[in-house]
Amino acid sequence: MSDVLKAPLAPKKTPTSAPFWDGLAEGRVLLQQCEACNQWVFYPRPRCSHCLAPALLWKPVSGAATLTSWTHCPRPTAPPFEALAPQTLAVVTLQEGVRMSTFLLETADRPLTLGMALAPRFVPTEDDSAVLLAFAPA
């Protein structure tokens, strides 16, 4: 993927997830934490997926993550991503323990390894309706 880019597809935002996307638009990463059991939750939900308490609070986090898995795709995974091929898709684990599906930037000549440290990158969508959370080697 080129380093100056816009993502071709916008997420279909929901009222439940609005704080997450609003945070990214301001360059901040917000995650939900359960007041009842202290667990972090991702993706956004109205109740905790560990204890079902309706007690999730939005908290700012650093966005620091580690690499859990990745795949370099020489062919686009779907037609809308043709201009971005080759893509490096990834699964990352944030410091708080939650996982996310994402893609990696700035990986040229960087060997990817399990557990390598990653930092957040903010990538706007082509229609400028949202900012996606991508990652790059820290």
Partner 1 sequence: MVGKRHGAIVGYAEWATERRYDGPRAFMLEQWMDLAAEALADAGLELGDVDGLVCGTLREASMFVPATVVEYLGQPVKFAEFVDLGGATGTGMLWRAAAAIELGLCDVVLCALPGRPIPSNPDPRDRPSPEARWLGSTSNAWGSPQAEFEVPFGHVAQNAGYAMIATHYEARFGSCETARAQITAQQRRSAALNPLASFYQKPVTVEDVLASPMIAEPLRLLEIVMPCAGGAAVVVASAEKARKTPHRPVHITGFGECLTIKTPTFAKDLAVTPVAEAAATAFARAGTTPGAMDLLALYDCYTITVLLTLEDAGFCPKGTGAAFLAERNLAFDGDFPVNTHGGQLGVGQPGLAGGLLQPIEAARQIMGRGEARQVAKADRALVTGTGGVMSEQVALILEGA
Decide: is 71 part of the binding site for partner 1 (CB under 8 A): yes
**Residue 29 burial (CB count, 10 A):** 20
Contact segment (CB under 8 A) with partner 1 among 5-13, 30-38, 55-63 equals 5-13
Half-sphere exposure of 73 (CA within 13 A, CB side): 18
Q: Which is nearer to partner 1, 36 or 91 (CB)?
A: 91
Contact segment (CB under 8 A) with partner 1 among 22-30, 31-39, 50-58, 69-77 equals 69-77
Decide: is 32 part of the binding site for partner 1 (CB under 8 A): no
Min CB(71)–partner 1 separation in Å: 4
Cβ atoms of 8 and 127 within 8 Å: the answer is no
Min CB(54)–partner 1 separation in Å: 18
Min CB(84)–partner 1 separation in Å: 7
Contact segment (CB under 8 A) with partner 1 among 30-38, 53-61, 87-95 equals 87-95
